[in-house]
Amino acid sequence: MGILQIAFFIVLLTASYQDIKKMEIKDGCHAAIVLLAAAAMLLDRNTGIASRLLGALCVSAPMLALTLVIPGAFGGGDIKLMAAAGLFLGWRNAVISSVFAVFAAGVYVLYLLSIKKADRNQRFAFGPFLCAGMAVSLLWGDVIWKIWQNL
């Protein structure tokens, strides 16, 4: 694991903390990830520029579209976080991140509903789940993708 990946993890921890505390992810986190993505484009030839550009849009664009149809479905910080991270991760890991995040958040919400700590209309911070998915995809994305292809 290189310095860019470590810096990415630090930004993910920061974004998660901000979202948990204030239900807001500061633009500085998004900007930091975009800068890391720019550096990765220059230094890491394993993920092509096309994959990174597609990664920036393949999850964030549907999130934005859903939010336009269902106001409040996702926060702007979550959408920007996914776009910036997709630029860093590439499209495959962006997809893996989002699938993991939706699954983990779903389990969390079902748990809260089952113990009567939340109702169906309650909002929660989705950023930490996205960040966890991003960490999982960065660490094990290649393995997960190969398993996924063989299903």
Question: Is 50 strand, coil or helix?
Answer: helix
Average pLDDT of 12-32? 98
Q: For residues 93 and 59, is the Cβ–Cβ distance under 8 A? A: no
Helix (H) / strand (E) containing 126 = none
What does the pLDDT read at residue 116?
86
How many CA atoms within 13 Å lie on the side-chain side of 35?
8
pTM for this prediction: 0.94
pLDDT in tens, 29-79: 999 999 999 999 999 888 999 999 999 999 999 999 999 999 999 999 999
The rounded distance, in Å, linking the Cα atoms of 147 and 78 is: 27
CA distances 12 to 90, 112, 116, 132, Å, are: 16, 24, 30, 8
The rounded distance, in Å, linking the Cα atoms of 42 and 55 is: 17
Is the per-residue pLDDT at 22 higher than 80? yes
The rounded distance, in Å, linking the Cα atoms of 49 and 99 is: 22
